[in-house]
Amino acid sequence: MITTAKISITRICNPSKQEFLNLWKQGQAFIINGVANQWDAYKNWSNSYLTNVCGDNLVPVETYNPTFFQNYNFASGDYYNHPKQMKFNVCFLHNS
């Protein structure tokens, strides 16, 4: 399905507190760009870091039938494979 926006959404980059509050008080949607660049996670989390820190931890892995999003019988168990656990490094290495 293709949709088109009838209105544009304001984008702001690294707003000051006052700029943020001014837009927020208007009650309209806006997108903030560049915020995650300041997070420690953005700066420090690399593939090797995550593998070293999380490599042997068990993580939940859920898979779905390839037609899951094309069929609206989501409540049916036929389209959902129950969660399994896998070591992070195995999951990560197969999906990177």
pTM here is 0.42
Alpha-carbon torsion, ordered 78, 80, 83, 87, to 10 deg: 110
E strand map for the chain: 10-13, 30-33, 58-64, 80-87
pLDDT digits (tens, 9 = 90+) for 61-85: 777 766 666 666 555 555 556 667 7
Q: What number of CA atoms fall less than 13 Å from residue 54's CA on the CB side?
A: 18
> pLDDT: is 29 or 7 the higher one?
29
pLDDT at 3 over 70: no
